[in-house]
Amino acid sequence: MGCRVSIGKASPPSHGGRISAFRHSNPDAPTPVLDLSTGINPFAYPVPALPAHVWSALPDPDDLATLERIAAEQYGVADASRVVAAPGSQCLIGLLPLCLGGRNRIVNVVGPTYAEHAASWVLHGHRVVQTCRFPDPDQKSEASISIVCNPNNPDGTRYTLSDLRILSDRMADQKGWLIVDEAFADFEKGIQSIGTIQHSAAIALRSFGKAYGLAGLRLGFAILPPDHADFLRRILGPWPVSGAAITIARAALTDHAWQQATMARLEAAAERLDRLLISKGFEILGGTSLFRLTCHPDNMMIHDRLNKAGIMTRRFDWDDRLFRFGLPKSNRDWNRLDHALS
């Protein structure tokens, strides 16, 4: 893939986690399928017992406001009115073109990265250009929207808060926006959210589900200027997330002991995965605390072995040499991966 690519209308992006499709393609593979394709935290937050009214009553707006205040504290945002809860960061990616408005924008996506960003803006009629380098603030650009993932999915590239602030300033000068997808930032040391600087032209997206291993809960947050936050709330409607999501997330986001223990656990697991993959001939190209991007000289053989062993990894249509591995959870999972690659 070149360093500058225009992205037009195409079929919907592919994703990991499609276990039923994997079973259909590999009917003889052992079960259960070991899904290492998603980058979701395998050490999920322990869900507390939930009161009956969480399921029977409509979510309380005051409880939702409390969740957003807690999220603001967790992400270092001084003004909680800038934090908007939604049913997953994917939902927010789809709504941002509507929320930010404008017609026939030029959108610069730094990639390769999570493909839904480009797909969403193309769907709304904008021109999307993917570049492989972080925008140079000293070079003139036609783009009024810049999108980066920090850390990037799938290679783990990181950007400093200083660089993101400078790019935000440039986008503000062009009456545009910088969108920073921080879906994998929660357990990454040294990454500061763009939301902490409360910039008038910067938006951050956070994924609760990936970080806390509860992707099925469907919960994410946008951090954006108050006027646009209010507009986004109106788009989402009066009950944007479930009472269960509100209750569980309020507990998880304030459980700092669990967060610290999980960060150490993820770091150890990622180092263990590096050792295993390197011993099997893989080259580690990058990653985060939740996944590793790799390549292997005999990629087709490895792909066949993993499929026959019932192990899903993330592949990429733009480079079939690559494998992205999530973290195994149990010793049984580790042994299964080791055996499949031996």
Cα 316 from chain centroid?
16
Return the CATH architecture of domain 58-254. Answer: 3-Layer(aba) Sandwich (3.40)
Using one digit for the tens of pLDDT, what is the confidence trace for 80-118?
A: 999 999 999 999 999 999 999 999 999 999 999 999 999
- Tell me where in the chain the CATH 3.90.1150.10 domain(s) lie: 19-43+257-341
Residues 6+ apart with CB under 8 A from 127: 6, 104, 105, 106, 107
Residue 141's pLDDT is what? 85
- Compute the distance between CA of residue 135 and CA of residue 202 in angstroms, rounded to an integer: 15
Confidence of residue 233 (pLDDT cuts 50, 70, 90): very high
Residue 113's pLDDT is what? 97
Confidence of residue 3 (pLDDT cuts 50, 70, 90): confident
**CATH class of the domain defined by 19-43+257-341:** alpha beta
Long-range contacts of 282-287 (CB under 8 A, 24+ apart): 282/323, 285/155, 285/322, 286/154, 286/155, 286/156, 286/157, 287/154, 287/155, 287/156, 287/324
- Tell me where in the chain the CATH 3.40.640.10 domain(s) lie: 58-254
Phi, psi (rounded to 5 degrees) for 315: -110, 165
Mean pLDDT over all residues of the chain?
A: 96
- Looking at the DSSP bridge assignments, the partners of residue 323 are 294
Q: Tokens in use for 83? A: 């934090």
Using one digit for the tens of pLDDT, what is the confidence trace for 18-47?
A: 999 999 999 999 999 999 999 999 999 999
H/E segment holding residue 332: helix 331-341
Residues 6+ apart with CB under 8 A from 170: 135, 137, 141
Using one digit for the tens of pLDDT, what is the confidence trace for 300-309?
A: 999 999 999 9
Using one digit for the tens of pLDDT, what is the confidence trace for 187-216?
A: 999 999 999 999 999 999 999 999 999 999
- Let me know: does 247 contact 70? Beta carbons within 8 Å: no
The angle formed by the CA atoms of residues 152, 155 and 157, to the nearest 5 degrees, is 50
Q: Tokens in use for 77? A: 């945002």
In terms of pLDDT, which residue wins out, 10 or 254?
Answer: 254
220: nearest Cα among 172, 171, 267, 184: 184
Q: Tokens in use for 275? A: 């050792």
Q: Tokens in use for 198? A: 């409360």
Confidence of residue 16 (pLDDT cuts 50, 70, 90): very high
Residue 2's pLDDT is what? 55
- Let me know: does 75 contact 244? Beta carbons within 8 Å: no
Tokens 């990894």 -> residue = 313
Using one digit for the tens of pLDDT, what is the confidence trace for 119-178?
A: 999 999 999 999 999 988 778 889 999 999 999 999 999 999 999 999 999 999 999 999
Residue 322's pLDDT is what? 97
pTM: 0.96
As a whole number of Å, the end-to-end CA separation of the chain is: 31
Residue 10's pLDDT is what? 65
H/E segment holding residue 53: helix 53-56
Tokens 């459980």 -> residue = 255
Using one digit for the tens of pLDDT, what is the confidence trace for 301-334?
A: 999 999 999 999 999 989 999 999 999 999 999 9
pLDDT of residue 181 exceeding 80: yes
pLDDT of residue 9 exceeding 80: no
Phi, psi (rounded to 5 degrees) for 129: -120, 125
- Looking at the DSSP bridge assignments, the partners of residue 147 are 109, 179
244: nearest Cα among 216, 221, 213: 216
Residue 330's pLDDT is what? 98
The residue type at 69: R
Tokens 């021109």 -> residue = 127
In terms of pLDDT, which residue wins out, 8 or 70?
Answer: 70
